[in-house]
Structure 1
């Protein structure tokens, strides 16, 4: 009967020793072999009484295939040992049985820890000079640029591009959080993440606290919670970023005013003809605002709608240019 070699795979992003009950049963019932004497995993297992033999590739292969046992896989994949075991299995397929055991899985979002570690390395001494000299202010244009590149990927419907652009966009808040931690501003990435988790839970009691709310009540509750948190805001339009593009800014203002129940005459596109609208900047602005109001009432985003129309117009122009080329 062939011996059993168990290849134990664990997540390097979880605390060492945090394993499934089945993994612990296997570790306590078979010889355990590892390559690194002082790895976090071997140190944790030894602290819980697991007897571990430290061995290189050749010795590990011989020990495991002769008597069976558990190999604690390292994060780099242990290619040399895998190749040696494959060679021995090809020579004598009945000599041993190789089984993989997953002792711990990465939870959703675990690779965010890797990104935090990369940002830390880039900003630390010996890291990237460019990243190391950035400030909140110097990074501001890149935050805007990455946002627009993400919007472009959404518009094209290219999932591969969207995946890449979301990654580039994700770098930005992590860099800002790292810079704040270095400046001892009182927060870092954990505080940023912790604050937004608390905010989301607080503003969604119908999700996290079991309260029964309709859609309209949920929106109103969100607004009440937001006003309670932002006590320095006196007006419904306070807090809207004024750096937004004009159409988006108008849409935000109108949405906030409507949701706050402020009694004000709504702009109407029927009050001015197109000819009248272009007679002056003020008239044009009022006409555009009226269109934004109608879009908002219809649940449409005027900024995205105009972008889509502009792209269609540009595509039609390009088609004509292609047709007219000799």
Structure 2
């Protein structure tokens, strides 16, 4: 096949459709315009004989030629008003598209109509599938990652959470995006390790399913028939449904003792206040009891004592740097 020059070109140079698909969408799930283009094309080509879409196209009665024509050959094949659909490989056919661009820019070739047609495309969250696949390969092939355990990774989850808080307090958007990714990695890593548990395995899909069910159940004003007009109404819904789920015998249940001291004191005070309990603070000597009283007072006034102390400590750090010059 040879490209047709402008002098000898027929009146209709035809049409070239570059059909792209997403590897994150199941093969065969194509848009209606894509199926129309495939069914009405004079020729359908694909350079990759193992392309995952090919079995489904052939099952639908569409003939696909395994071929990788040059730009000149493809333009010639469309002469006379014919349509050629190219099912793009994962790389997106850069050699072909570059060749077509050169021909179009030369001005010597009567070019067919060129169309880029996404046959399937990513929905929001699609890159999470990439993360799961990458993590799976790392777990299998990386000498370090393949040996990690929940216990061994626990400290990294804490470190990444602190780094995320720092990025938030610094107001650094680029750093925030990166640290959110690092926290997300901890979730995916632990979920991948959990798949290998011989007695009670679960996957990242189970983790996601659990939180989806929880969010739906605790938002009856969004997914159910209840109403909530204010943030206070939402909080009441949340606490009521959470209490019904947990069936706790003490307000202290579910409060992690491993969190920082001020945060722990504030959380306990919050639980006491919400339950309407009258619990006198323990008395004793030392700075610990003074800090406990300050944390409880801060919580009652709507202040996060941990965040307040961090802000003050950061100011102290800046003052130190100022003295250091």
Matched, 1:51 2:51: no
Which of structure 1's runs of 4+ aligned residues deviate more than 6 A? Answer: none
Task: Confirm whether residue 316 of structure 1 aligns to residue 281 of structure 2.
Answer: no
Q: Distance in 1 between matches of 2:124 and 2:152?
A: 32
Show the 5 A alignment for 1:31-110: 31-58=43-70, 62-63=73-74, 65-67=76-78, 68-91=83-106, 92=108, 94-110=110-126
CA distance in structure 2 between the aligned counterparts of 1:205 and 1:260, rounded to whole angstroms: 22
Give yes or no for the alignment of 1:23 onto 2:41: no
Partner of 1:234: 249
Distance 1:115 1:57, change over 3 A: farther
SS in 2 for 1:314: helix
Q: CA deviation at 1:294?
A: 3.3
Kindly state the Cα deviation for residue 93 of structure 1 after the two structures are TM-superposed: 5.2
Matched-pair contact (CA < 8 Å) for 2:139–2:145:
yes
Assess if the C-alpha contact under 8 Å between 1:65 and 1:96 holds in 2: no
C-alpha displacement of 1:265: 4.8
In structure 2, relative to structure 1, the CA distance for the partners of 1:64 and 1:174 (3 Å cut) is: farther
Q: How does 1:115-154 map to 2 (within 5 A)?
A: 115-124=131-140, 127-154=141-168
Question: Is 1:247 matched with 2:247?
Answer: no
Match of 2:194 among 158, 165, 180: 180
Provide the C-alpha distance between the structure 1 equivalents of 2:49 and 2:69, rounded to a whole number of angstroms.
14
Which sections of structure 1, spanning at least 5 residues, go unmatched? 268-276
Structure number with greater CO (CA < 8 Å, separation at least 6) is 2
> Do 2:77 and 2:84's aligned partners in 1 also have CA atoms closer than 8 Å?
no
- Give 1:273's aligned residue: none
Contact 1:57/1:80 (<8 A) preserved: no
Matches within 5 A, 1:277-292: 280-281=285-286, 284-292=287-295
Q: Describe the SS at the equivalent of 1:8.
A: strand
Local SS of the residue matching 2:195 = helix
Q: TM-score, normalised by structure 2?
A: 0.87
1:182 partner SS? coil
Structure-1 residue corresponding to 2:180: 166
Offset at residue 106 of structure 1 (A): 0.6
Q: For residues 257 and 220 of structure 1, what CA distance do their matches in structure 2 show?
A: 16
User: How far does residue 57 in structure 1 lie from its aligned partner after superposition?
Assistant: 4.6
Q: Is the 8 A contact 1:36 1:42 kept in 2?
A: no
Structure 1: how far apart are the matches of 2:62 and 2:75? Answer: 16
Q: Distance in 1 between matches of 2:120 and 2:76?
A: 24
Please point out which of 220, 228, 231 is paired with 1:205. 220
Q: RMSD of aligned C-alpha atoms?
A: 2.1
Aligned-partner Cα distance in 2 for 1:266–1:211: 38
Instruction: Please give the TM-score of this superposition, normalised by the length of structure 1.
Output: 0.87
SS at match of 1:145: helix
Tell me the matched-pair count: 306
Determine the C-alpha separation between the residues in 2 that align with 1:100 and 1:77: 11
Tell me the distance in 1 between the aligned counterparts of 2:72 and 2:167: 49
Can you list the C-alpha shifts for 1:186-217, whole angstroms capped at 9, x where unaligned? Answer: 31111111111011101111111131134334
**1:295 deviation in Å?**
2.6
